[in-house]
Amino acid sequence: MLQYVILVLDLCILDIESLRFSYSVIAASAIAHFISKETAMHVSGLSWTELLPCVSWMRPFVEVALENGPVFVKHYDDVPSEDCHNIQTHSACLSLLVSICLHGLVPSFVLFVVSGEVFLAFLQE
């Protein structure tokens, strides 16, 4: 499940709407989706009322992550095991954002194609 949490967090922070939430709320919301809401509340110290808006907003990203499979953290032979926590694996890519847009799941993005090139634009209120 950790691999899905990583993917969802990477995808979510690409959406400008993520700025409405603190990092702790976003992280706890991802935990709520993939582990349990009780665990999310316990480890974050936040109430379900505080987490629910972010959990609801995050749902489309979770759906796309589940459709596309988990991200696996790379292991390097030349990195000592005590330093492995420093390796950052970013998995969010344009194809996943395109998938979100094609599903019509996130209203803050718009997808368009010009001369075969795919572009994403952010919508402003």
Domain spans, the chain? 1-120
13/11 Cα distance (integer angstroms): 6
Report d(CA 117, CA 55) in Å as an integer.
32
Q: Measure the CA–CA gap between 39 and 45, rounded to whole angstroms.
A: 10
Backbone angles phi, psi at 76, to 5 degrees: -115, 130
Dist CA 96 CA 11 (whole Å): 8
- pLDDT at residue 58 in the model: 92
Which one-letter DSSP state was computed for residue 110? E
Give me the pLDDT at residue 3, please: 82
Contact criterion met (CB below 8 Å) for 64 and 11? yes
By three-state DSSP, how is residue 107 classified?
Answer: coil
The CATH number of 1-120 is which of 1.10.472.10, 1.10.10.10, 1.10.730.10, 3.40.50.261? 1.10.472.10
Per-residue pLDDT of the chain (125 residues; tens, 9 = 90+): 788 898 899 888 888 789 999 999 999 999 999 999 999 999 999 999 999 999 999 998 898 889 887 766 677 788 787 776 666 665 556 667 667 766 666 656 665 666 666 666 655 55
